[in-house]
């Protein structure tokens, strides 16, 4: 049974959406956490949320924070989406609506939008959390 979770404040969610979308195209860099240096996945999340929430730095720590788990069909803008395998979280992104999320995927890539139902992401999806209130 999934908990009933109220949606995030629309203004806060829109702010997160605009900030995340504005970073699309920024180069990936392992350990990066600014537009100037590039981003890894958790660096992107902490940067996008920095004016709203103090979040932990790694995808594993982000997955462990307090906050209700959200079923995929109830995702809302600003929810964190997690990916991994074997019970271990190895990647995080920010849901932006219409089945898409923003993330910093891999070395040599850039911050981009992907669909949650893409083959790789669907097969490695491990959960979601709402951190905006």
Give residue-wise pLDDT tens across range 33-49. 999 999 999 999 999 99
75-103: per-residue pLDDT in tens? 999 999 999 998 899 999 999 999 999 99
**pLDDT value, residue 29:** 97
CA distance 40 to 6: 29
Question: What is the band of 2 on the pLDDT scale with cuts at 50, 70, 90?
Answer: low
Residue 91 near residue 82 (C-beta atoms within 8 A):
yes
Q: Phi and psi of 65, rounded to 5°?
A: -70, 160
Given the residues 41, 76, 89, 92, the one annotated as active site: 41
d(CA 49, CA 67): 15
The answer to whether position 2 is within a domain reads no
**Considering 32, 92, 103, 130, which one is annotated as catalytic?**
103
Instruction: Kindly report the CATH number assigned to the domain that includes residue 83.
Output: 3.90.1720.10
Domain membership of residue 30 (yes or no) is yes
Give residue 114's domain range.
10-129
Whether 133 is catalytic is no
Tell me which DSSP letter residue 2 carries: P
Whether 5 is a known active-site residue: answer no
Into how many domains does the chain fold? 1
**62 classed as catalytic:** no
Active site residue: 13, 79, 82, 91, which one? 91
Question: How far, CA to CA in Å, does 11 sit from each of 78, 99, 123, 132?
Answer: 11, 20, 32, 11
Read off the pLDDT of residues 45-64 as tens digits, 9 standing for 90 and up: 999 999 999 999 999 999 99
Helix axes of 10-21 and 41-49: crossing angle, nearest 10 degrees:
130
DSSP state, residue 86: T
Q: Write down the residue that tokens 């395998």 correspond to.
A: 85
pLDDT score recorded for residue 133:
81
Mean pLDDT of 9-31: 95
66 domain residue, yes or no: yes
Retrieve residue 124's tokens: 């490695």
In a domain, 56, yes or no: yes
State the Cα–Cα distance between residues 130 and 82, nearest whole angstrom: 12
* Domain contains 75: yes
Q: Model's pTM, two decimal places? A: 0.93
Is 5 a member of any domain?
no
């Amino acid at each position: 049974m999934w908990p009933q979770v109220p949606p995030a404040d629309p203004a806060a969610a829109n702010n997160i959406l605009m900030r995340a979308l504005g970073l699309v195209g920024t180069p990936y860099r392992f350990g990066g956490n600014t537009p100037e240096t590039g981003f890894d996945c958790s660096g992107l999340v902490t940067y996008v949320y920095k004016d709203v929430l103090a979040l932990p730095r790694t995808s594993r720590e982000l997955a462990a924070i307090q906050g209700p788990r959200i079923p995929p069909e109830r995702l809302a803008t600003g929810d964190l989406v997690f990916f991994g395998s074997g019970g271990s979280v190895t990647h995080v992104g920010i849901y932006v609506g219409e089945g898409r999320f923003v993330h910093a995927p891999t070395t040599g890539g850039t911050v981009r939008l992907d669909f949650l139902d893409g083959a790789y992401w669907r097969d490695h999806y491990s959960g979601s959390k709402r951190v905006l209130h």
